[in-house]
Every structure is written in C-alpha cells, then in structure tokens.
C-alpha cells in the first residue's frame, strides 16, 4: 500500500481510516484506480510479442479486498478475467497483515492504530483475524484456495513441479493462470507455529519488512531503519532451507546489505522503482540494484506514480530501461503492485501497452520477453522447493 495514493486523493492515512469505517466494503473503489489517458490498441508486433510471452507479475494485493476475483470488475486493477485478457501466466498475490494509520514512505511509527484491523472488522473477516496477524495471512490464503477450487484453470504454485505443470498446461490452453502466495512483512509471523502454518497454506515468498521496523528487519520507512536482527538472520536461512523466496521490498538499506551478506540464494525485490528515474525514498539506488543483481536476484519494477514519477506506461518503461541498461536483461521483472492502494495507468488486462512501451524505449524483443516473465520463471525454478 502506498502513501502516494493518499496524497493523490488529498487525504492522509487518518482520513483513510475514517473511510474504512464509514464506507467499509466500498473503500477499494477509491484507493485502487486506473488513471491517465485512454489506452489505444497496440501495434501488431507488440501484440504478437505479448501474446507469445510467458508473463509473470511479482506483486498484487488483490486478496486484501472484498471482491470476487473470479468475476471481471470495474473496481481495482486485477482479477482472473483481466489477468487472462492480459495473458498473465503467473501472478504473485501478496498478503498484507498490518499497516499503521500514519503509514509513510519517510517514517512510520508502528504504535499508531492499524488500518487492516479496521478492514477486517468492516469486511467480515473471521474473528481470529481481527487480532492475530498470522490468521489474517491464513484467511487471505484461504480466499485464494477457495478461488482455485471454483476455477479448474487456476493453479496455486507451491513448487518447481507446479511451475513445470503450469508451463505445460499453458502451452495447450493459455487460459491457465498460476498464482503464488507471498506475505508483505515478516511481522505476520506473530506466533511460534506461524512459519509452519503459512508454508502449509502455500506461502512461498516473504518480504522481511513492510512500512515499519519489526523484530526481524529494519524497514526503509521505519523509525530506526536498522538492519537484519539475529532473529531475522535465522529467518532468512530457514526460508532458504524451505524454499521460501526472500523479498527485499520495503527493506532498509542496512537490511538489504545484511541479507546479501548472509543469503545463499538470490533474493527478489518484488515491487519497486529506481532512484535514477524517480527520486523517492521508496526507490532503490543503482548500488542497491547492482548488489541484488550480483547475488543473482530480480528487480520487479512497479507501475504506480510514486515508483516511476509518471502515470503512463512510458514512465514504467523508462525505469525498466534504466535497470536493464545497468544490470543486463537477466535481472529485471514486472512488479505491478496492482490493488495495493495505488493508482496505475493500466490494469492487468492491458499489460500489452507496457510491452509496446518497452519496445518504444529501444529494448529488443528478446529483452522484453525476459522482463515480461522469462526471468521470473527462471529464478523461481531455482528457488522454490522441488515438490
């Protein structure tokens, strides 16, 4: 969830809290919107490249909201019909469990009231999820499991073998969509059994921090912005042992350095921008980009204005182009942040405009194909558990 959305609406986080109380289930239509000029059809070469690519997106918060993802909606930015229209093969659905009402990309105090508690109360979440963060994660994971039970062509990806099966099924029928589960912030591990429970529920990616410092890692938006704690170091190694991907999004500079020192497997940054094209404390420096790439990791470039300093596919493509020029085309991916309380210039159904924008930026068709999803597929094949 992004502070930039609140600014664009002329609201602060406290007013968003009031909206959650007053509007309850209707709040999403105000915070997840598509903006910018109407989109035109893309050129035949861009359309052909887009339709023939394996497309993967590393971050969407769609499970947070009270919306049936089996149905095409005019609200939000992603659901199964729109993912299929956009030819998305794999979507990572990341679970949000706590956001303080003063959430800010500069400095967030975790002692403020929690917005997700209000969302849980106003949207009919089960009672354990009102107070326990692990139960909030399990509830949202259960929503995806129920969706997959209703849709025979939705596959929850938990392993390398699932990825191979997904690729094979899509070769026969492009209506197949893979879904992988992540958690935004290790603070969701609020009881001793939480990692076991979340792994059993299909969680295969965990971001160490979100908007505030926690007992595992410092946040880029925290009060202290410290590094990896001893408990966080143990968590990184345990995640690697199990086949859970380490996500450095929202991590402080110190946390990024510490993780890259101890990690034995490549980490991801699931959704970010780059400082070189958009000066924001939310974005990564060239040094951080180079360090993640040197470890074999991936950088997922986001679509929202605070990440790319614009509300167009061209702005997203500029950030991608910079990352590819700096790192090579093996380390860049898509990380939309769809439905993360952000505005975006297109929804999941029109990802083809980003394909054309990357071509217009001068990227080769092969580089575009890698960014669209081939890089994500390659890296996840090496990080997920075998079965």
How many helices and strands in the chain, by DSSP H and E? Answer: 18, 11
Q: Which domains does the chain have, with CATH numbers?
A: 3-383 (3.20.20.140)
- Alpha carbons within 13 angstroms on the beta-carbon side of residue 292 total 32
Residue 244 to residues 159, 196, 235, Cα–Cα distance (Å): 10, 11, 10
pTM for the model? 0.93
Nearest to 139 by CA among 125, 150, 149: 125
Residue-level pLDDT, tens digit, the chain, 387 residues: 444 544 443 445 666 566 655 565 678 888 999 998 889 999 999 999 999 999 999 999 999 999 999 999 999 999 999 999 999 999 999 999 999 999 999 999 999 999 999 899 888 999 999 999 999 999 999 999 999 999 999 999 999 999 999 999 999 999 999 999 999 999 999 999 999 999 999 999 999 999 999 999 999 999 999 999 999 999 999 999 999 999 999 999 999 999 999 999 999 999 999 999 999 988 999 999 999 999 999 999 999 999 999 999 999 999 999 999 999 999 999 999 999 999 999 999 999 999 999 999 999 999 999 999 999 999 999 999 999
């Amino acid at each position: 969830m992004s502070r930039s959305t609140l600014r664009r609406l002329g609201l602060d986080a406290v007013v968003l809290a009031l909206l959650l109380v007053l509007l309850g289930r209707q709040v999403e239509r105000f915070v997840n919107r598509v903006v910018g000029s109407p989109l035109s059809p893309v050129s035949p070469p861009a359309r052909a490249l887009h339709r023939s690519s394996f497309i993967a997106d590393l971050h969407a918060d769609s499970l947070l909201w009270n919306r049936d993802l089996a149905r095409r909606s005019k609200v939000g930015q992603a659901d199964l019909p729109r993912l299929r229209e956009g030819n998305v093969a794999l979507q990572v659905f990341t679970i949000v469990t706590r956001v303080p009402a003063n959430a800010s990309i500069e400095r967030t105090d975790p002692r403020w009231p929690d917005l997700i508690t209000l969302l849980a109360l106003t949207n009919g979440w089960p009672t354990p999820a009102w107070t326990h963060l692990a139960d909030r994660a399990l509830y949202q994971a259960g929503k995806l499991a129920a969706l997959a039970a209703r849709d025979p062509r939705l596959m929850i990806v938990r392993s390398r073998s699932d990825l191979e099966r997904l690729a094979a099924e899509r070769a026969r029928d492009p209506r197949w969509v893979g879904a992988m589960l992540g958690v935004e912030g290790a603070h969701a591990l609020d009881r001793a059994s939480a990692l076991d429970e979340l792994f059993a529920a299909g969680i295969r990616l965990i971001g160490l921090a979100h908007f505030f410092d926690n007992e595992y890692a410092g946040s880029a938006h925290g009060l202290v912005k410290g590094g990896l704690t001893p408990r966080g170091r143990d968590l990184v190694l345990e995640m690697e042992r199990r086949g859970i991907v380490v996500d450095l999004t929202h991590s402080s500079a110190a946390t990024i350095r510490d993780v890259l020192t101890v990690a034995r497997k490549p980490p991801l940054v699931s959704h970010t921008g780059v400082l070189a094209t958009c000066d924001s404390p939310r974005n990564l420096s060239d040094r951080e980009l180079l360090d993640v790439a040197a470890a074999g990791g991936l950088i997922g470039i986001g679509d929202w204005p605070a990440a790319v300093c614009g509300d167009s596919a061209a702005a997203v493509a500029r950030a991608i182009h910079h990352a590819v020029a700096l790192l090579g085309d093996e380390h860049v991916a898509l990380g939309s942040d769809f439905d993360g309380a952000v505005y975006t210039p297109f929804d999941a159904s029109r990802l083809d405009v980003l394909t054309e924008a990357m071509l217009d930026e001068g990227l080769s068709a092969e580089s575009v194909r890698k960014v669209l999803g081939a890089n994500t597929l390659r890296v996840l094949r090496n990080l997920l558990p075998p079965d």
